[in-house]
A = this chain, B = another copy of it.
Amino acid sequence: MVDIGFIGLGIMGRPMAENLQAAGHRLFVLKKSKAAGDLVAKGAVACESASDIATKSSVVILMLPDTPEVEEVLFGDGGVAKGLTDGKIVVDMSSISPLATKEFAKRIREHGAEYLDAPVSGGEVGAKAASLTIMVGGTQKAFDAVKPLFEKMGKNITLVGGNGDGQTTKVANQIVVALTIEAVAEALLFASKAGADPALVRQALMGGFASSRILELHGERMIERKFNPGFRIGLHQKDLNLALEGARKLGIALPHTASAQQLFSSCVANGGKEWDHSAMVKALELMSSHQVAKG
């Protein structure tokens, strides 16, 4: 049994924490969290502050919205850093800036603690089913120590490299996903407008060189017009922002990522912040005054 601090009990964090609790671990949570009550009823300890949680836990897991929230929880007043001692491990499972992560890890190590960045993909469904993909950056030793906990939350768990590399992998994942959605969207829009049945075109492309999980799953969403999330455009915009901000700081050009972000913005402008990200096709459809028609 591990004493685990869990900070960030939202749509993702709550089921992840519940899976750890169900596995017999003792949780330390923020008293002010909305979800704290239910966890405390099952044995979790309610704490006044993040530093209090860090003092009482050996592993502190964060699942927060973005970089500023992680920085505040780690290094703000009453933050995690103040409660750290040698041998504790901070595990940031949020999706945040890879560059900031390297800096955060360095500062955490100065407190004698270890740091893992371990963002996930798989969404709310994966969080509940404990089938998340977890992309980890950090030392082998810290990874080995936390791996049994990761295995209660996910399935495909990879140590990619040192600190930051987990977040970098997550950003790379979100770039590929967004740009492949647009690839499928442009192909199906063309096929549909040219008079072919997009469902048959999708089928003909599957199994060939154009095949992808996105063609399979999101291609079907575009044809069936099922744009309930899934993964919300507003969240994917946050991830592409990490890619584009990172690219600017790194001094590289990501032209299609930049354009995909604008297509998402067009969706948001049309009320689509909560649409599934496969609805990127709608931006294209609005531009083209033609809808991918179900065959």
Chain A contact residues, CB within 8 Å of chain B: 98-99, 121-122, 133, 135, 156, 158, 160-162, 164-165, 168-169, 171-173, 175-180, 182-184, 186-191, 193-197, 200-201, 203-205, 207-215, 243, 246-247, 250-257, 259-260, 263, 284, 287-290
Contacting residues, chain B, for A259 (C-beta < 8 A): 255-256, 259
User: Distance in Å from the Cβ of A207 to the closest Cβ of chain B?
Assistant: 6
Contacts of A187 in B (CB 8 A): 171-173, 175-176, 179
Number of copies: 2
- Nearest B-chain residue to A186, judged by Cβ: B254
* Minimum Cβ distance to chain B for residue A293 (Å): 13
Residues of the B chain whose Cβ atoms lie less than 8 Å from the Cβ of A168: 190-191, 194-196, 201
Q: Is the CB of A204 within 8 A of B160?
A: yes
Q: Which B residues are CB-close (under 8 A) to A183?
A: 175-176, 178-180, 183, 256
Which of B176, B186, B210 touches A184 (beta carbons < 8 Å)? B176
Contact A156 B207 (CB under 8 A): yes
Q: Are A194 and B246 in contact (CB under 8 A)?
A: yes
Which residues of chain B are within 8 angstroms of A173 by Cβ–Cβ distance?
187, 204-205, 208-210
Q: Identify which of A187, A191, A211, A290 gathers the most chain B CB atoms within 10 Å of its CB.
A: A187
Max count, chain B CB within 10 A of own CB: residue among A178, A189, A204, A287: A204
